Amino acid sequence: MNIGAASDASGVSQRMIRHYEKIGLVPPPARRGSYRDYADPDVHRLRFIANARDLGFPIKEIRTLLGLWSDRARSSGEVKALAQARAAELGRKAQALEAMQRSLIHLAHACHGDDRPDCPIIDRLAG
């Protein structure tokens, strides 16, 4: 199938498919003339990458996960450790986002939002 069909089948944009090929996350497909020719295993690999991205894994860890996926002698403990570490990192990021949200809500409540120039939001950003 061509890159458009592979994109439709995998849910990965053509631009991202080309990017994944460029960085070596996806091996270059066979060529039919000047066109890329993708097979079902390529689409399966692209779906794997998309699912890993949806779970917040960065490229470096996806590379590791792809290696573990293809290693039938792997230990599931390695995969579990990666997932737990990613979950912990996402938890830290969620806490940081919640703290930012609380700060913005507090600043918005403190701002009169009228014609006066004084604004605690601007003061906080400048301070």
Whether residue 90 contacts residue 84, with contact meaning beta carbons closer than 8 Å, is answered with no
Structure tokens at 117: 């120039």
pTM of the model: 0.81
* Residues 13, 2: Cα–Cα separation, whole Å: 13
For the chain (length 127 residues), average pLDDT per consecutive 10? 96 97 93 90 97 97 96 92 97 97 95 89 92
Q: Which CATH number fits domain 1-74: 3.20.20.70, 3.40.640.10, 3.40.50.300, 1.10.1660.10?
A: 1.10.1660.10
Can you give the residue ranges of every domain in the chain? 1-74, 87-127
